[in-house]
Structure 1
Amino acid sequence: METKHEIVICLGSSCFSRGNKDVLEVVKVFLKEHKLSAEVFFHGDLCGGKCEEGPVLKIDDQFFSQVTVDNVYEILTSYFEVEQEK
């Protein structure tokens, strides 16, 4: 099955030290919970040059900056238009 979307999480030292290691886990759980793993290619990448805006997450062609474990679920819910669990 070909993926329809791509999520790239910055794992450069700046984003990683500011919390993207925890964001990574939240994204994995989100994809599994919403059965999106087969249609989303999720992977890490090294520095994309947006360190001052980090932690950074890219979904398809859209960049999200200052991503945290507190806001990433909302970002994903909005982007993929799924209902947020209560």
Structure 2
Amino acid sequence: MGDRVELMICLGSSCFARGNKATLKSIQKFLEDHDLKDKVNFHGGHCFGNCAEGPNIKINGRLYTHVNEFKVIDILTNELL
């Protein structure tokens, strides 16, 4: 992995109410467990404008919808490992 991966989680009220708090914890644990904190720029964004499809995350600009604390592990495994 050359450049750092850009990983954003939507922290808008709709996504957060639908479970992005648990997804946030899953992402943090995944990055720590796989020693990826220095390779991934992980941060929150206010709203991705796709509330009806939330919870949402973006990896290098690619939008993932209907993400939950379990689905995010599969996404991160495919994208980062």
Unaligned segments of structure 1, at least 5 residues: none
By how many angstroms is 1:56 displaced?
Answer: 0.2
1:19-51, CA deviations, whole angstroms, 9 ceiling, x for partnerless residues?
001100000000011111001110111011000
Q: Return the structure number with greater helix share.
A: 2
Say how many residue pairs are matched. 80
What amino acid sits opposite 1:64 in the alignment?
Answer: Y
Query: 1:6-85 maps to which residues of 2 (within 5 A)?
Result: 6-80=6-80, 82=81
Partner secondary structure for residue 63 of structure 1: strand
Which consecutive segments of 4 or more residues in structure 1 shift more than 2 A?
Answer: none
Partner secondary structure for residue 41 of structure 1: strand
Aligned to 1:5: 5
TM-score normalised according to structure 1 size: 0.88
Quote the sequence identity (%). Answer: 44
